Structure 1
């Protein structure tokens, strides 16, 4: 059971360029396929998924100089007692690396957020990479 994990993707653009897209809390709808719409009001982000489900998230701990921000899911995912995710961009050979970490607790026995989310998160980061590298071409 893995309820604290990270996925990442190398991107052939400089970290500042990657951060402009990865660090925009609204632009995630442009590269993360399951999201159909996002509305931000202050530090609250309402995420509408393609299946109609809505998540209420609080944006926390943003640091543009370090190219990182975190959000916590306050409601919308059944069984979770806590959830925190962090998106960050770091320098890497040939450009940058975008990392997405998830940490969760659940009152559901055997809950495994990595099994539930790692594939779709990796696909999202690959879409982000394709978008960034296509824009740089």
Structure 2
């Protein structure tokens, strides 16, 4: 009996607790997918469509693009692009430095053709909250919702 309990407990500890939180937002866009992808643009294109971003400076570290976002009202976020597929219309990135209540943040933004002349943009992220998970999710969700609204506005 003790041996069985020990094995079960060891298996549970090896699996570890689920520290990661997930947030995903999607929105339809009444524009062709290629146009929406062009609106999203390069890694620093976010400064043109996200209402919270005042500016973006692009640099490189270890062969990977780095963007430093200047936020309206103050503050900066430094992010590294980890993957880009222009054919599939998506890119992924991680946050290196930020005032956001998250750590180990990984995100992807993607555009898909809806088959009816329009598109769907999906922005998703996974992270470990710093503090309350609900509060961290609310912050990230707000960033996504405002960003997606900006994409819709600039694409149509």
Question: Same fold per TM (> 0.5)?
Answer: yes
- SS of 1:97 mapped into structure 2: strand
Deviates more, 1:117-126 or 1:85-94: 117-126
Q: Which runs of 4+ in 1 moved over 4 A?
A: none
TM-score for both structures, normalised by structure 1: 0.86
Moved more, 45-54 or 111-120: 111-120
The 5 A counterparts of 1:1-137 are 3-42=21-60, 43-77=65-99, 79-92=101-114, 93-106=116-129, 108-112=130-134, 113-133=136-156
Q: Can you list the C-alpha shifts for 1:2-25, whole angstroms capped at 9, x where unaligned?
A: 821211111111111111122422
Higher helix share: 2
Report which of the two structures shows the higher radius of gyration computed on alpha carbons: 2
Structure 1 residues 127 and 110: CA distance shift in structure 2, 3 A: same
Q: What is the TM-score with the length of structure 2 in the denominator?
A: 0.76
Q: Structure 1: state its 5+ residue gaps.
A: none
Unmatched tracts of structure 2, length 5 or more: 1-18
1:56-113 CA distance string (max 9 Å, x none): 110111111111101100112355330011110001134100111111113x342333
Task: Name the SS of the counterpart of 1:117 in structure 2.
Answer: helix
Q: What do you get for the CA RMSD once the two structures are aligned? A: 2.0
